[in-house]
Amino acid sequence: MTSPITELHRYLDEHRLWYKTIELKRGEYLHRAGDRDGNIYHILSGTLRAYAIVNTDEAQTIRFAYVNDFYAAIDSFISGAPTILYGQALRKTTVRMTRRDVYQEHVMKNPQLAKLRHQMLGWMVTGQLEREIDLLTNDPAERYRRVLGRSPSFFRKSPQNTSLTIYG
């Protein structure tokens, strides 16, 4: 069985829904908190970090997006309101973008794409639940094992000199 991510890639490619390609330098932002960003991005190369500022000055990483992942400022994508997230390239990163309105139009017309969207949202909710459990795990070694088991590429691909707070 093909994964929903692979199917979504195939659909967007076949229907030529990519609007443009964006190249980000290391440290450059795809979007910042306060921006309205309802686009969907496909990571062609590099790594993106999504984070929020909490306690007025503390950056807390929400997720990472790697090659072939999809990425969106999900709060802005869903609501159309400004995002609370920062989307930042951890290294030189190239993304393809499709616009929300075009994507939504296709979802409304195509039951297969609507099903894929539902599967992707389920995958995102499940992933968020896993990260929330990580936050509740008091033992740093156990938290590390959980993150390593779920995202081994993070430890292989993250820049050595980047200090990131992972889940508190």
Range with the lowest mean pLDDT among 56-65, 76-85, 117-126, 146-155?
146-155
Q: How many CB atoms lie within 10 A of CB 155?
A: 10
Q: Which domains does the chain have, with CATH numbers?
A: 4-157 (2.60.120.10)
Phi and psi for 72 in degrees, rounded to 5?
Answer: -150, 150
Tell me if 13 sits within 8 A of 7, measured CB to CB.
no
Q: Counting beta carbons within 10 angstroms of the beta carbon of residue 43, is it exposed (0 to 12), middle (13 to 18) or buried (19 or more)?
A: buried
Looking at residue 2, its pLDDT comes to 72
- Give Cα 96 distance to the centre of its chain: 13
Q: What percent of the chain has pLDDT above 70?
A: 86
Range with the lowest mean pLDDT among 44-48, 77-81, 83-87, 160-164?
160-164
Tell me if 145 sits within 8 A of 167, measured CB to CB.
no
| Residue 167 banded pLDDT, cuts 50, 70, 90 | very low
Looking at residue 153, its pLDDT comes to 62
